[in-house]
Amino acid sequence: MSGFAAADSATTQSLGDAISAEDIRTSGIKAENQVAQYAAMLGDDALILAQRLGWWISRAPEMEEDIALGNIALDLIGHTRFFYTYAATAWDKTEDDLAYFRTEEEFRSARLVEQENGDFGQTIARQLLFSHYQYTLYSKLQDSADET
């Protein structure tokens, strides 16, 4: 199957030891409501920023930046799938329910990712700030998990 976990989906790829959205779906776990709400918020951040970065495809100043932003956007879509799949376990829904079948008011994303792209420099500055935010957030989550 050339590295793909399922032949019926082009987005389903599970290489290495990372936990995938499919692993969550088949594990039978059920997230607590508050944790699921938080995971959905993180998924919202990743989804909105991926859409903003995707806008630059074929518009970036150089081909290298164009490809790089496209790859970052795809990584963020992977994060979105992971967070939405986990959050959906609390409400007996699917990742698609959270991505496509919510009203605008139900999305809870950081204002930073909602900002218009502006020029290329503004987009890169936003990406730097968001990446720092993610790193700081995930480091704190890892530290608190290590303490338990």
Number of domains in the chain: 1
- CA–CA distance, 105 with 75 (Å, rounded to integer): 25
**pLDDT tens track for 50-92:** 999 999 998 888 889 989 999 999 999 999 999 999 999 999 9
In a domain, 20, yes or no: no
Domain that holds residue 76: 29-147
Query: What's the DSSP call for residue 7?
Result: T
Residue 56: give its domain's CATH number.
Answer: 1.20.1260.10
Average the pLDDT over 132-139 and give the result. Answer: 86
Looking up tokens 């420099």 gives 121
Residue 146 backbone dihedrals phi, psi, to 5 degrees = -70, -30
